[in-house]
A and B are shown apart, each in its own frame.
Chain A
Amino acid sequence: MRDFDYVVPKSLDEAVARGKQAEHRFIAGGTLLVDLLRLDVERPAALVDLNAVLSERISWAPNGLTAGALARNSDLADHPDVRRELPALSQALESGASPQIRNLASLGGNLMQRTRCAYFRDPGVAECNKRRPGSGCAALEGYSRMHAVLGGSRACIAVHPSDMSVALLALDAIVRTRRSQGGREIAIADFHALPGETPQVETALEPGEIVTEVFVPASGFSRRSAYVKVRDRAAFAFALASAAVALELSGEKIATARVALGGVATKPWRALEVEAALLGRPPTRETFEAAAKLAANGARTTPHNQFKVELARRVVVRALERAAA
């Protein structure tokens, strides 16, 4: 861990200005950044502490949820309105990390979560396009049981490990930010970037831009949502595959469907074909199984992670069954 400075800005604008400086990194909960600092993956010149300039506030209104970027994962998961109105979000947060980490980790930080690719996390490995652009990707021909089968490129197949972002994607969340030109809103679907040839670029944020809050609209499907996660251990493990789904039923038919996948793609993955196949059908296991077959369309697998294709289908079925119940 290199030596670095520590700066506490007094205003959001000051934080933005500081964040634009070379090798300055924002820190909120720190659960991710301190881990990467200690691994020598992150080597900032200074940390800019956002705790004094952002909000922890969680509030529910008829049109939806507004949560400050500092809202702790555990507070958000436990919030009675979130539990009732956005069950997939609460379940996703509860299934992530450990209680200790959830007590520290912030909403904004969770959105910015980095991959768990073991090659990315090990500076002893020379090849990682995310860590050292242009150096290659050790995972492509390496041990890739946890890696992405969707959204990968020749430069990177690192999986996006988030649970929460998958739920936010299914729930059409909007990310509100502040940059020097002022505030803006970014749809969650546009927030995370595919690796392409630039896997080091992970989000739509500009240098110095700060997530200030997240808005999750109340919708016809948000209440009927569920998150299901499959992992090696019974708890405290990253997803082998996960699914966040939301359904709006009209009579006996599915009127709206949202299906998002975690643990299998390079970013939280919207399964649009599955959604389309669900529309207008009765919410039965047969419908779910038929639609879920499309979940991993376009998958590119390695011998280690091939099982994720089938697992993704099954986890979608289970999540749909749970949401429909």
Chain B
Amino acid sequence: MLVVALAPNFDDPGEEVLEALRAELRCLGAALLLIGTDHSFCFRPDDELVEEPSTDELRLWAAQLFRAQGVESEALTPETLLLGLLDDGGSLRWHTRRELDGDPSLALLEAARLAAKSALAPAPIGVLSRREVVLTSLIGALSLVLLEGCKRSEPQRPAPSASAVSSLAPAPFEREVTLNVNDKDYRLSIEPRVSVLDALRERLGLTGTKKGCDHGQCGACTVLLDGRRVNACLLLAVMVGKRKLTTIEGLAGPAELHPLQEAFVAHDALQCGYCTPGQIVSALGLLREKRATSAEAIREHMSGNLCRCGAYPNIVKAIEAARDAGGDALPARAT
């Protein structure tokens, strides 16, 4: 599967949009070929972004592709984005057209989202694969590097959906809440049983807060609630109210790390890294409690944070170093 987009020139879409695009492309199992006036991107979600000059041949190929579906790309204004889903039959299965009146990256993302949704519907019975032909024409048009990216795609038609998606199932207790995370308000509609941890990880994409046990026994999910450390797995999101949550994502400044993060790097206070965000946020809570008075005290008051790799001695050293460097400050943020 290949997502082909014809558009005027794109600037760098930015990491946030790229990350969201990756999610859509992973769902499709597809690469995105974005053909701009001057530059083309080949973007596979788990590989490097490859940028190449757009060639006439490439644009011609794309124009033919859309023409076969009755869309004349030449007739479009330069402010139009044309995005199609190219299946392994070598034909466009689906396409959409959007006018670029706002941020072109967002329009691209929106189109990709529609494409991914469309692919989840049962697919028509396809013809035999002609993807080799398609790829060959790509090969002619793109550089060697780009080719390698696309060769891996092994495009295939997605499996038909086995059962109807019951996402419209009633959710009688669902309600709107606003969570303030790292000084930013997030509105979401959730059932009362959703924990802060699952809200952060599964709904807000803030996966820095880890799930190590889901029962308050490991500390990997430690966040600050109004500046005090708590287990996000034991806290229902509906109960947070106006209180402020601070997660690992909120510690570093735009350029520099928080002193605790610096100290963890310097003292190799991590190995696999999975308990690390919880250790750091818990350590911040500890420093704010002013109880990190000795190595012994740190060990006692950090015992709610398990580390299976056994980085404990280095974690204690890192906390001592951060304490001595005045690392108890909450991150200062522009409001």
Task: Please determine if A and B sit in direct contact within the complex, based on CB atoms under 8 angstroms apart.
Answer: yes
Question: Chain A: residues with CB nearer than 8 A to chain B?
Answer: 1-6, 27, 30-31, 34-35, 37-39, 47, 49, 51, 74, 97-101, 103-104, 233-236
Docked complex Cα distance between A224 and B222 (Å): 36
Chain B residues, Cβ within 8 Å of A235: 299-300, 303
Counting CB contacts under 8 A, is B102 at the interface? no
In the bound complex, residues from chain B placing their C-beta under 8 Å from that of A100 are 216, 219, 222, 229-231, 282, 285, 304
A222 to B210, CA, bound (A): 42
* B304 / chain A contacts, CB cutoff of 8 Å: 97-101, 236
Q: Is the CB of B228 within 8 A of A34?
A: no
8 Å CB contact of A3 from B191, B229, B238, B305? B191
Give chain B nearest CB distance to A237 CB in angstroms. 9
Q: Which residues of A are found within 8 Å of B219, using beta-carbon distances?
A: 98, 100
B244-282 residues with Cβ-Cβ distance < 8 A to A are 282
Of listed B216, B235, B289, residue having the most chain A CB within 10 A: B216
From A1, A97, A99, name the one whose CB has the most chain B CB atoms within 10 angstroms.
A99
**Is the Cβ of A104 less than 8 Å from the Cβ of B172?**
no
List residues of B whose CB falls within 8 A of some A CB: 171-173, 175, 191-193, 195, 214-216, 219, 222, 225, 228-231, 233-236, 238-239, 282, 285-286, 289, 299-301, 303-305
Asked if B234 and A4 sit within 8 Å, CB to CB, the answer is: no
Q: Which of B171, B173, B233, B239 contacts A27 (CB 8 A)?
A: B239
A and B contact pairs by CB, cutoff 8 A, 21 listed: A3-B171, A3-B173, A3-B191, A4-B193, A6-B173, A31-B216, A31-B231, A37-B193, A39-B215, A47-B192, A97-B216, A98-B219, A98-B231, A98-B303, A98-B304, A99-B229, A99-B285, A100-B222, A101-B304, A103-B228, A234-B299
> How far in angstroms is the closest Cβ of chain A from B188?
15
Q: Is the CB of A3 within 8 A of B303?
A: no
B192-A101 in contact (CB<8A): no
Q: Select from chain B the residue with minimum beta-carbon distance to A29.
A: B234
Cβ of A204 to closest chain B Cβ, rounded Å: 27
Extra inter-chain contacts (16) besides given A6-B239, A35-B215, A104-B234, CB under 8 Å: A2-B193, A3-B172, A4-B173, A5-B172, A30-B234, A30-B236, A38-B214, A39-B215, A47-B192, A98-B216, A98-B231, A99-B289, A100-B222, A101-B216, A101-B231, A234-B299
A-B residue pairs, 7 tightest by C-beta: A98-B304, A6-B192, A235-B303, A236-B303, A103-B228, A100-B231, A34-B234
Within the complex, the shortest CB–CB distance from A127 to chain B, in Å, comes to: 22
Q: Whole-angstrom distance between the alpha carbons of A100 and B304 in the complex?
A: 7
Q: How far is A51 from B242 in the complex, measured between Cα atoms in Å?
A: 13
Most buried by B among A1, A31, A34, A104: A34
Chain B residues closer than 8 Å to A97, beta-carbon distance: 216, 304
| Minimum CB–CB distance for B319 against chain A, Å | 13
User: How many angstroms between the C-alpha atoms of A51 and B222 in the bound complex?
Assistant: 21
Cβ contact within 8 Å between B215 and A38: yes
Q: Is the CB of B172 within 8 A of A34?
A: no
